[in-house]
A and B are shown apart, each in its own frame.
Chain A
Amino acid sequence: MGSDSLSFGTVAVLHAVAAGYQFGFDIVDATGLTAGSVYPSLDRLEDLGLLRSSWEDAGSAQSEKRPARRYFALTGLGARTLAEALAKHKTLRPVSLKAFGIPGLWPARRRA
């Protein structure tokens, strides 16, 4: 899966998840995109294998008397795709992908 076919909005969603925003509304806040575009992006990224989603532990959610939320996490493929995309989209803030074994310097430094 090349990063070329991903729109900037989709990359931004991927980037937000990588930066630690796990839940739909938080990702909407982090990206500044509309919910109407973030949620479909999340589904699509999951279909592409760049994200995986799980549900909060029902037991702990119930003990706090709230419904369990769906949360998203980066996959290895997602991390590699993001790394590739960040080389192109230079405006996004640096994010560490060390957990996925990707060292590096993102985004590429602005040219003087």
Chain B
Amino acid sequence: MNIDRPRRTALWIVDHAAWLVPGAERRRWLAQWRADIWHRCAVLERKQLVSRRTARAIVGRAGGAVWHAAWLRYRSGDLQMLIHDLRDAIRSLKGRPGFTAVAVLTLALGIGANSVIFSWIEATLLTPIPGAVNAGSLTALHFTTATRNDLSLSYPNYVDIRDAAVPGVADVAVFGAGALSLRTTDGTERVWGEVVSGNMFPMLGVGAAAGRLLTPDDDRVPDGHPVVVLSHGFWQRRFAGRAGIIGESLTLNGRDFTVIGVTARGFQGTQPMIALDVFLPVAMQKSFIAGDRLTQRGSGWLQGLVRLKPDASMAEAQAGLDVVARRLATEYPAENTGRGLRLFELWRTPSGGTGMLLPVMAVLGGLVALLLALVCANMAGLLLARANGRQRELAVRRSLGAGRLQVVRLLMTESIVLALAAGVIGAFIARWSGDLLNAFLPPLPIPVIIDAGLSTQVLAFATAVSLVVGAMLGLFPGLQASKAADLASPLKDGSSGNSAPWRRGRLRQGLIVVQVALALVLLVSAGLFIRALGAARTLDPGFQARNGIVGAIDVTPAGYDEAGGRQLFMRLTEALRALPGVEAAAVGQRLPLTSLESSDRGVEVEGYLPATGEEVGAFYATVGVGYFDTLRMPLVEGRDFTPRDDADATPVIVINETMARRYWAGRSSLGGRVKVGDRWLEVIGVAKDSKYGSISESPRSFMYLPVAQSWRAAMRIIVRTAGPPEAIIAPVRETLQRLDPNLPLFDVQTLDEHIAFSFFVFEMVATLLGIFGATAGLLAALGLYGVMAQSVILRTREIGVRISLGATSGQVRQMIVGQGLVLAVVGLALGVLIALGVTRLFASQLMGVSVYDPVSYIVTVVLLTATAVLACYLPARRAARLDPVRALRME
């Protein structure tokens, strides 16, 4: 144990606490504290008493210095002044409850919206692996090719990367997530888990809540050491936190695993937002997914995490990994040619939920910042108006000896109090919004948990935003109102500032223009997303089936081999087709619009000569007979699979239009051959293109392999019905039970629910932006109303003169509305210019809609103009009804 670090920490605290100490005492104070700390450290060192405890005590003492400094400051009277200011500000705000309520609520909207989005960003992107120690030095590792940067690692490649001494890299660990079936007393239950390399938990620094976690020693013997670690959540939920679970065995995918421990509370797996139940060593892969993946260098299925050495930069580690990638390509050209290794900050990981949410959160974050800017402009206008109205009070204060600084301080304190009150409300809004975010999540086949809400970071964020906004808002009108020139006039002329009302109003008018412009930007953005949502709904996902259900089964845990499994799939499909109300049924590895899981592989196409560096590959799914008919996915050419396409027949394949166009340009692909793995498959049909991952994806090459020739144990059952699909769920379950009571059906959804998932991100963004946009429009309208109403009051005399000189009430109304509309139009024009620039930043998020979409712009402009007319009309009407005699008499 070295004393240097605690000494440095303690001195750092003292040095920084020193600014709290009043200037006159600061030097002496600093000398006293530094000498005391210095001396104590020297004594500890000399007597060899340096330990973790004494080191902590030193830092604790330095904490006392902060109190000491604060006490000195308090004694000097400044704090009392601050408290006095605060009391003054609160009293003054209490005296105007209407103003205070409007101001606090307005600010709360802006600060709340920002806190909400920040809490979501914090929960999803900033804490990607909750529970990991020093997450800042963790990065994600992917293989890359010329066109992709999100490829997984194969186990042999991982071992080589791990064992290479890469400069800057402390350790490399891998994981692969998936579903397992857990045998329970009354059947099976689906659980979610990961295989992790033995060094994963030590590398992350995750602790155990009970027992012990996996170590490299648990991960040495392939398929020989069945142990499992439970997540804290699963332990609590499934086993009620029973300590005796350690040492018991769980049957996962038909194999007995010994429970050795439980992860610390908070840790839920190595992927953001996905809460897992169990963790197995990678060496137990065969019990996790089919095939022997530990020896196949070409089979990428693992995600890499890299812990950087302390003080090492990502660039340094990346340079080292580049060398490793080149070496791997030379040593194993068949699998690794053209592949690179690339590190990503965790929040930028291109795969999984992070890759999906990052662009969305960026759009939301940017737009709420605009909303806050609008709120600030609105509040600035409000505070300016209030400062103008208070000129007499402020002048009295100044003539009684208050300095300019004091007046500024008073106004700043007021606005900071307002902003902090708003910040409290905003933080509460953020707390509730955590549930809101989860409410947007549709029923998902994976355990997504987003732990958004009121964390320390969110509170700190809300406070910081409140302070900055409050200080800014107060400084502005404070300086204006405290100008020396204004000192005398308000006292003399009785009324509340009659001089050059329009000149003083110029600033407020500018603020209105800004508000209208920002409101337009927000509303146009909302409009674009709503239009995109509408467009996405009408996009053809490539299959017409809507009434139906889908569920997942996995036959491996129930003890089926390949031949038995094929038999079962066939009998099951037939039994399902025989059910009343069922139009068609089939099995298939996945449906279209299944995001978060996709497989692609390199293939060879007979007669197609790839350009240098071109990857020839396609996404794929294994399907049973009747798949295309069940989903109503038309075949544009050739034929469907039939029961005759079995293991003994010629290997066949159905491809999609994009693949046919790409590799058989201008020719018929029927009869063409594709090499998948080590087999040549003959193309027998071409299916219509479909949206495989998300509704927004660009067309991709896709191939369908028959399950009879290309075995797969985990499949989905798809049943199309004539009537409402919910009614068929129970009969389908019964059918499956009759065939094999050990086969559970997981994740049952209607096709509608399945499709809905692909819209949820859109729906969320569109809904939120709609709310933000409406808020923005309303605020701008209120701001405009406020300016026009005040202008009418300030111009009472002028309007009175006009009326007495013969102006009709219609003319007066027109004049006022016209003046207000000039502001609105300038704002709208400015807004259109900003929107044209801003919306381009998220053009990639909008499919089916141009960022120049005229409908969004026109609707927004019309909406805002109408709102502006209304906002101006009310004061105009009041002006038109003025009694000229009274108006002229008014001072």
Contacts and interface: CB of A to CB of B under 8 A. Distances in A.
Interface of A: 23-25, 28, 34-40, 43, 55, 66-70
Given A40-B71, A67-B31, A23 B63 contact: no
Contacts of B501: none
Given A25-B40, A25-B61, A43-B72, A37 B34 contact: no
B752 interface: no
A3 B542 CA distance: 90
Contacts of A40: 67-68, 71-72
Contacts of B68: 35-36, 39-40, 43
A70 B65 CA distance: 15
Interface in B48-62: 60-61
Contacts of A28: 61, 64
A36 B66 CA distance: 7
A12 to B, nearest CB: 15
A36 B36 contact: no
Nearest to A38: B64
B39 to A, nearest CB: 6
Nearest to A67: B35
A5 to B, nearest CB: 16
Nearest to A65: B42
Contacts of B38: 66-67
A67 B179 CA distance: 65
Q: Chain A interface mostly helix, strand, loop or mixed?
A: helix
A36 B34 CA distance: 15
Interface of B: 28, 31-36, 38-40, 42, 60-61, 63-68, 71-72, 75
B65 A35 contact: yes
Q: Chain B interface mostly helix, strand, loop or mixed?
A: helix
A68 B35 CA distance: 6
Contacts of A55: 31
Given A35-B61, A36-B67, A39-B64, 20 more contacts: A23-B36, A25-B39, A25-B61, A28-B61, A36-B63, A36-B64, A36-B66, A39-B65, A39-B67, A39-B68, A40-B68, A40-B71, A43-B75, A55-B31, A66-B35, A67-B38, A68-B31, A69-B35, A69-B36, A69-B39
A91 B837 CA distance: 76
Given A35-B61, A36-B64, A66 B31 contact: no
A76 B718 CA distance: 96
The winner among A35, A66, A68 for most chain B CB atoms within 10 A is A35
A35 B60 contact: yes
A37 to B, nearest CB: 7
B889 to A, nearest CB: 64
B290 to A, nearest CB: 63
B629 to A, nearest CB: 78
A37 B28 CA distance: 18
B631 to A, nearest CB: 71
Given A69-B36, A70-B35, A34 B64 contact: yes
Contacts of A36: 63-68
A66 B37 CA distance: 11
B31 A70 contact: yes
A25 B34 CA distance: 11
The winner among B31, B32, B42, B65 for most chain A CB atoms within 10 A is B32
Nearest to A70: B32
The winner among B35, B67, B75 for most chain A CB atoms within 10 A is B35
Contacts of A67: 31, 34-35, 38-39
Contacts of A70: 28, 31-32, 35-36
Nearest to A33: B64
Across the A-B interface, give the 5 residue pairs with the lowest CB-CB distance, nearest first: A35-B64, A36-B67, A36-B64, A39-B68, A67-B35
12 contacts: A24-B33, A28-B61, A35-B63, A35-B64, A35-B68, A36-B63, A36-B64, A39-B64, A40-B72, A66-B39, A67-B31, A70-B28
Contacts of B40: 25
A68 B32 CA distance: 8
B436 to A, nearest CB: 42
Contacts of B28: 70
B42 A24 contact: no
Contact of A66 (B42, B63, B71): B42
A25 B98 CA distance: 54
Contacts of B60: 34-35
B42 A25 contact: no
B26 to A, nearest CB: 14
Contacts of B42: 66
Contacts of B33: 24
